[in-house]
Structure 1
Amino acid sequence: MAGQISIEHIQSMGGIARTFAAGSVICDYESNAPRLLFLLDGWAASSKMLPNGTRFVTEFLLRGDMISTSLTVLSRETVQAITNVSVMAFPDFASIPKIDTPALFYRIAIAELVRRQARMSESLANIGRRDALERTGYLLLELGTRIGTSQDDPNSECFDCPLTQSDIGDAVGLSTVHINRVLRDMREAGLLSFRNGVVAFLDRPRLMDLVDFDESYFDTTMI
């Protein structure tokens, strides 16, 4: 999985293990306990509710990603489990500066904040400067890169994706009807298919070129 920290590193630091059922709220902007949560397994979504009642997904969270309850409160977001989720919870050293925190923990937390900033920057560019097909293709390429793809089909690269078309639409600012049409167009063009919870890249190089996808922002060797 590109750009993600080692689960073994997270587990070696102790912390409190917690689980959340699919659909449950992991934390929201009313959370009052500063915590850093690292996803050990599952998918989650961080989202905002707009004044008109529309949901906007700011980020999908995957295995190895970090959730800061303090940032969730400041940004007035809600983090909800898409699938069953397990996390390792730690005190937020930035909000509780007197706690004894190993240097490794500092490095891991800061590196994850840098990764999140890079993803958020790309997300803004994606929504602001790309058309519907490019936005959707870019998001699915990013998710495939982050979670890793398999070669079960020799003619494509695949990954399990529990997102609904509504989830994808809320992340790229498109209606479910529009997402359905875009996914059909990409399938008919031989770029990718999304069926039965599996995304298959039928021609990944061509799709990457079409949407100008550059994996370099996952490179964390400089951190």
Structure 2
Amino acid sequence: MITQVSTGRLQALSSDVYRQKSELTGGIPRTYAPGETIYDYEDDTPRLLFLVSGWAVSSKVLPNGTRIVIEFALRGDMISTPSVELARETVQALSQVTVMEFPDFTSHTSMDVSPRLYRLVLTEMMRRQARMSERLANIGRRDALERTGHLLLELATRLGPSRLRPNFDGFECPLTQADIGDAVGLSTVHINRVLRDMRVGGLLSFRNGIVEFLDRHKLTELVDFDETYFMPHMI
């Protein structure tokens, strides 16, 4: 059974969280070009990064050279570099990215931290844990179409309605088929086939960097997408 929450409520929750992040003071803005490394796990400077704009990817490379995408970071998301370091992940910009950088107080308990920043960090840790649990279920128990559709629905819901195209059911997506494949454990050839099947089946279209949902409701039912798992209440 799919738990449904109104789009308006999800959008309101997301906007409120982002507003609280944007009101934080004391951060240092930094920008990164597409393909540039934002953080490498061998970096010895712990910090907390909030994405102001753009797309980033957190991934790790196995000894045989295979890349695994752990997470796509979007506007408003937090990147905790101590967690990235512990997991031996590397964070790279997929598009032009702006982040707000704060010192990592989780490794220095003596630091004077504002209650607002503390609550936001705890909430973001909860959000990421929820997404990771769902990602594990996605790869371990869903077929190729379900994995891919679920990922694209998650990204769409996290991004919210397009501000540039209000009546458009979709989003601009800088991901390549290789990026999607590395996130759901499928080859590029397999992803190409799945995207074609979804287009022919009237579910969604992914062309020229644009994902358009042709029948979002049908796709949501088909992949058993529950949009509430990444929207915990603020602490």
Are 1:6 and 2:18 an aligned pair?
Answer: yes
Contact 2:21 2:76 in 1 (8 A): no
**How high is the TM-score relative to the length of structure 1?**
0.94
CA apart distance, 1:149 = 3.1
Residue 179 of structure 2, aligned match among 152, 164, 167: 167
Distance 1:149 1:200 in 2: 12
- Identify if the C-alpha distance between structure 1 residues 153 and 102 changes in structure 2 by more than 3 Å, giving closer, same or farther: closer
Contact 1:36 1:91 in 2 (8 A): yes
| Larger deviation, residues 136-145 vs 27-36 | 27-36
Are 1:67 and 2:79 an aligned pair?
Answer: yes
Aligned to 1:210: 222
Aligned to 1:144: 156
Residue 190 of structure 1, aligned match among 197, 202, 208: 202
Task: Give the aligned residue type for 2:97.
Answer: V
Contact 1:3 1:218 in 2 (8 A): no
CA apart distance, 1:148 = 1.3
**Once the two structures are aligned, what percentage of the paired residues are identical?**
64
- Identify if the C-alpha distance between structure 1 residues 157 and 94 changes in structure 2 by more than 3 Å, giving closer, same or farther: same
Residue 55 of structure 1, aligned match among 67, 76, 86: 67
Are 1:119 and 2:149 an aligned pair?
Answer: no
CA apart distance, 1:7 = 4.7
Q: Deviations over 1:169-223 (max 9, x none)?
A: 0100111111000000000000000011110011001000000001121332263
Are 1:41 and 2:53 an aligned pair?
Answer: yes
- Matched positions, count: 222
Distance 2:63 2:38 in 1: 22
Q: Deviations over 1:39-95 (max 9, x none)?
A: 000000000101210100000000000011111110000000000111000011111
Task: Give the aligned residue type for 2:200.
Answer: E
Residue 92 of structure 1, aligned match among 91, 94, 104: 104
Distance 1:50 1:130 in 2: 23
Q: Secondary structure at the match of 1:12?
A: coil
Task: Give the aligned residue type for 1:20.
Answer: Y
Distance 1:172 1:153 in 2: 29
Q: Secondary structure at the match of 2:161?
A: coil
CA apart distance, 1:14 = 2.1
Aligned to 1:177: 189
**How high is the TM-score relative to the length of structure 2?**
0.90
Distance 1:153 1:22 in 2: 26
Runs of 4 or more consecutive aligned structure 1 residues displaced over 6 Å after TM superposition: none
Unaligned runs of 5+ residues in structure 1 are none
Q: Deviations over 1:2-58 (max 9, x none)?
A: 657315534432211111111010001101111000000000000010121010000
Task: Give the aligned residue type for 1:17.
Answer: P
